Chain A
C-alpha cells in the first residue's frame, strides 16, 4: 500500500480480521443475519453499508466541532437516515426485485450499531480522511462476514451461487446430485444464520487464541 501510510492501512485492515465488527465487537448483527440467505442480497447489503458508513463517517467528522454533545445522537441519526434514504431510492430505481427482498432491512441500516458505534468511537474524535478509512475498513469487515455467511447458506441451501446452479441440477440429477447429494433446505431458514455466524466465531477464535473470552 504505497498510497497509504502504515497507520492508515492498519485502519482498514484491522477490522477485517482481528477487530472485526461482527465477530469481535458484536455490532451490527441484526441486519447481518436476516438477509444472508442469498449471496446477492449479502453483497448488495455490504456495498450499501460501505457507502453509508464511509460517507457518514466523513460527514460526522467534518461536523464534529459544531455538533452540541447533548443532541449528538439525534444529529447522527438524521445524517445516517439521509444517507440510507439515498441508498433505498437508488436500490428501488435500479434493482427493484432486490429491494423487495431486502424490504425493511435497508431502513434498518440506520440503526445498525456498527454505524453509530463508529461515529461515537472514531468520527467524533478524528479528521475526515482517517474517519473515511476507518469507515471503509469497518464496513468491509462487516461485508466479509456477510458474504461468507451468504456464500455458505446459498451454496448448501439451494446449491446455487448468485442464482447460478453450481452443484448440478437437483431435478435432472446431474453433477453432485447424481451421487445422492441433497440440498439442505434448513440452511435457508433464519436460525441457521445464527449458527453459521457462531461457527465462524469458533473458527476465528481457535485460530487466534488471544480472542478467547474469560
Chain B
C-alpha cells in the first residue's frame, strides 16, 4: 500500500515538472519533437532509478547524523550531512559516466537511442532534485527509494511527452508572434500545472482540504470573528 501510494503521489501530485519545476531546462530545450522527448524521458527514468537508491544508501550509512556508527562507537557522533550536496552530485556524475560506458559496451542499440542524452543528464536538476527530495522527505527504506526514483522519473517522462506532443501541434496555430516558441510553451506548462493540481485530492479522496484552501478558510473565520466583535460592540453601544 505504501508503495502504491508513493508511486502515484510522485507521478501525479508531486510531479517533478509541474509541482517543483525540476529539470525545466532540458524540458524546454528538448521538447520540440516527440521522438527526442521519449529518448530523454527514458534516460531520466533510467538514471533516477539508479542514483536515488544509491544516494539513499550513501545518506543512510555515511552522511546522516550517527550514520557512521557501523564503523565503531567512537564514530557515532559524526554528522556529515553538510557534505551531502557534493557527495550526491559526485555520485550522479560518476554514475552517469559509468552507465554511458556500460551501455555503450553491452547494448549499442540502447546507446544509440539514449547515448546522446546521458551527458546532458548529469546536470539535469531533476536528477539531483530527486536525491535531495529523497533526503528531505526522509524516505524510509531502500525499496521505497527505488520506487521514488522510478515514479518521479515516470512523472517527468509524462510531462515532457505531453509538452512535446502539444508543441508539435501548436506549430500550426496562429500564436501571436512575440509569444511564439518559448513564451507559449511557458504558458502552456503553467496551464498544464494547474490541471495537474486537480490530482491533489487523489489519495485523500478529497477529505483533506488543500493547504492553500486551509489558509483562506482561516482568514475568513478571522474576518467572521471580527464582524461578530463589531456587531457585539454596536449592540453594546445601542444598549448604552
Contacts and interface: CB of A to CB of B under 8 A. Distances in A.
B182 A201 contact: yes
Nearest to B83: A85
B24 A30 contact: yes
Contact of A77 (B90, B124, B190): B90
Interface in B69-96: 82-86, 89-90, 93-94
A189 interface: yes
Given A30-B23, A108-B132, A171-B219, A73 B186 contact: no
Contact of A33 (B21, B82, B84, B177): B21
A33 B24 CA distance: 9
Nearest to A76: B123
A110 B85 contact: yes
20 contacts: A30-B24, A30-B129, A81-B85, A82-B86, A104-B129, A110-B89, A111-B128, A113-B25, A189-B212, A190-B21, A193-B21, A194-B186, A195-B190, A197-B186, A198-B184, A201-B182, A205-B177, A206-B178, A212-B177, A214-B180
Given A77-B89, A111-B128, A212-B180, A191 B219 contact: no
B136 interface: yes
Contact of A189 (B23, B178, B197, B223): B197
Interface string A109-122: 01111001000000
Contacts of A77: 89-90, 93, 122-123
Given A31-B125, A34-B21, A198 B219 contact: no
A212 B186 contact: no
Contacts of A172: 226
Interface stretch (A21-29, A60-68, A124-132): A21-29
B119 to A, nearest CB: 7
Contacts of B189: 194
Nearest to A23: B182
Nearest to A106: B85
A74 B90 contact: yes
Given A74-B93, A205-B178, A188 B212 contact: yes
Contacts of A201: 178-179, 182-183, 186
Interface residues of A, number: 53
Contacts of A82: 86
Interface of B: 18-25, 28-29, 82-86, 89-90, 93-94, 97, 119, 122-125, 127-129, 132-133, 136, 176-187, 189-191, 193-194, 197, 212, 216, 219, 222-223, 226
B187 A195 contact: yes
A89 interface: yes
B37 to A, nearest CB: 16
A63 to B, nearest CB: 17
B190 A198 contact: yes
B92 to A, nearest CB: 8
A84 interface: yes
A212 B125 CA distance: 27
A179 B169 CA distance: 44
A107 interface: yes
A156 to B, nearest CB: 15
